[in-house]
Structure 1
Amino acid sequence: MSIAADSTTEPRLRSVTCASPAGLHRMAYWEWGDPDNDNVLLCVHGLTRTGRDFDPLARTLQDTYRVVCPDVVGRGRSDWLIDPTGYVVPQYVADMVSLIARLKPARLDWVGTSMGGLIGLGLAGAVMAAPLMRPNRGAYGLGSAADIPLGRMVFNDIGPTLDLDGLSRIGTYVGQDLRFEHFQQAVDYVRSSSQGFGPHDADGWRALTEHVFNQQDGQWVKHYDLRMAQAFELQTTEATEAAQALLWQAWTYLTMPTLILRGSQSDILAADTVKDMLARNPHAQAVEFPGVGHAPTLRADDQIAAVRRFLLAKQD
């Protein structure tokens, strides 16, 4: 039996204005549940995906949370950046801060798949480290409490170690300008290029395709700004190593409960990295899904159940 809620439920489409050094842009987001609920779950997708990836998870949690699933800038319904070199995690973190300021959560839990996990880790590291680094202004400041009330965090098939071979695999298809005459051709492409998602039926593959290909001028094209590939072209070994050092530092700052999800066949998150993450952070736990690579889509019942159990577990 499926644990998914009513499949006819649809989210509300909203947007928030964000800023980059090149100008302003709008980030679209999909909102589920009571819009006045200040218990917020923010779900952030992977590199070439959209917020609609979380539809099955959101439907099952919308009675507890206001579930918010942004289309990261350059993807889906969001604007594209003027300067494509801005398609990097620091910009995405800044955009999420703008979104969180709009949402005004009393508590914010996080589910991040791949890139969405890196964004969450960058945000959490900043939240946890800021009170330690900010000069004390005493009674003249706004107080020492964190501005973002982060609660539980789920990192879906991502960690502080960046696998260069896995990233190279992803980078090979990011900038490809693919065009299909028929939607089923797009479905077949997603299925052939996303075997790491694990087994899905025909309806599942269609659902994983319908929001990542748009129909333009009679053809089906990718939903995102192909110029994102430029960020991969500019990446160096030295920059990757520096980023990893910062990510590991951020990981050690985390004091909230965290859940690491891993596909057993993942080429992005190694099993040894998960062991290291667990050793370095006593607040972390991990779940591995057999027969899945990068990344679990959080559509299967066992994957949804693992996330639900963690997020809804009784607080200590």
Structure 2
Amino acid sequence: MSHPPLDDLLATARVVALPLATRFRGLDVREALLLEGPQGWTEFSPFVEYPDAEAVTWLAAAIDFGWRASPAALRESIRINATVPAVDAASVAGVLARFDGCRTAKVKVAEPGQRLADDVARVRAVREAMGPEGRIRIDANGAWNVDEAEHAFHALAEFDLEYAEQPCAWIEELAELRRRVKYMGIPIAADESVRKADDPLAVARAGAADLLVIKAQPLGGVHRALEIVAEAGLPAVVSSALDTSVGLSMGAALAAALPVLDFDCGLGTSSLFTADIVSPPLTAVDGALRVGRVVPDAALLDELAAPSERREWWLARLERCHALLGADGD
């Protein structure tokens, strides 16, 4: 598809700053740029440290969702997981209480400055809170080497893990770890090895993962993400990148269009904010998220508007990425 002119994007651009209830991914506030296209509201929110060469893919996703009709939805709601940041064990129950009816929890592990003992205590607290029927998955964001990951798998195996997300950073490491721990029956999911890779299919070809974690924004949009899943031939779980409710609606559109969806999705992260730009925010109701576009509340857009200097920073970033998008083509 052709890309809209920059002036069309700037005409509706709103930059917001959403406060987090618990520090997550090193952030206390999540910034995002929202746009309104012919199909509805969309989001451009690459993390601030990402270079323009990476952020441009997120802009392609925003345009895809705002200027192109979404694929047909095969389901009306998406079951989602709770997300537990790298908090102390005593705080786990309070975090889980923010996710209404969720039967699955994704637990952050391998946080810089923490020890494996902290991870074990956190996961144990999640298991105690959710009971034996709850599903627990861990996410190390590639922080372990192969030996560390193997050791952590043994330490956490008693908690009956659903899968481990990106335990190691490199595809070769994932493949080696998968070979070592296959007997343990803990599947390995690839996230960064898909969304941050020059070739998102390389991890599947290498036999380095049992399933893929896919995110609409980093992969260039709903349509491109569906193509990647089809080509990879692996089960997929849809997750978010700490999006606003607008970005979560993009993720829900992706999850709704997958031919097969066997895993609860990581699209409940609005519950990590103390405020969002949609009223009510797109959060779990009885463990599920409704599928459909959302419209920001005008008063909340004003209330949560980013400071002027941050707005200018995002608009400049939008302009640079738009130029790159034009240079790179579709």
Q: Same fold (TM over 0.5)?
A: no
TM-score range, shorter chain: 0.3 to 0.5
Provide the TM-score with structure 2 as the length reference.
0.32
Provide the TM-score with structure 1 as the length reference.
0.33
Which structure has the higher relative contact order (CA within 8 Å, separation 6+)? 2
